[in-house]
């Protein structure tokens, strides 16, 4: 009989309060001419980090 392994994917609960906080923190993204990439946002209490990278990073085959 074969052994089947299941791997749990990381999950976080996005409460309404947390989503409001994230929106506040990400508000500077609404004015792209005012920020420089890459940009990183972190919410350690949720063990969550979001990185915003420029498009050119994905256009290069070396990355």
pLDDT digit string (tens) for 5-42?
777 888 888 999 999 999 999 998 888 777 788 899 99
Q: Are 51 and 39 in contact (CB under 8 A)?
A: yes
**pLDDT for position 8:** 81
Within 8 A by CB and 6+ apart from 22, the residues are 14, 41, 43
Between 50 and 11, the more confident residue is 50
Q: Are 12 and 48 in contact (CB under 8 A)?
A: yes
Evaluate if residue 58 carries a pLDDT over 70: no
What's the pTM value of the predicted model, to 2 decimals? 0.62
Could you give the count of Cα atoms lying within 13 Å of 12 in the half-sphere of its Cβ?
A: 12
Exposed/middle/buried for residue 46 (C-beta within 10 Å: 0-12, 13-18, 19+): middle
């Amino acid at each position: 009989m074969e052994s089947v392994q299941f791997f749990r994917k990381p999950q976080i609960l996005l409460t309404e309060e947390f989503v409001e906080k994230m929106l506040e923190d990400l508000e500077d993204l609404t004015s792209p001419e005012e920020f420089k990439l890459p940009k990183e946002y972190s919410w350690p209490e949720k063990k969550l980090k979001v990185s915003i990278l420029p498009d050119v990073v994905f256009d290069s085959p070396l990355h």
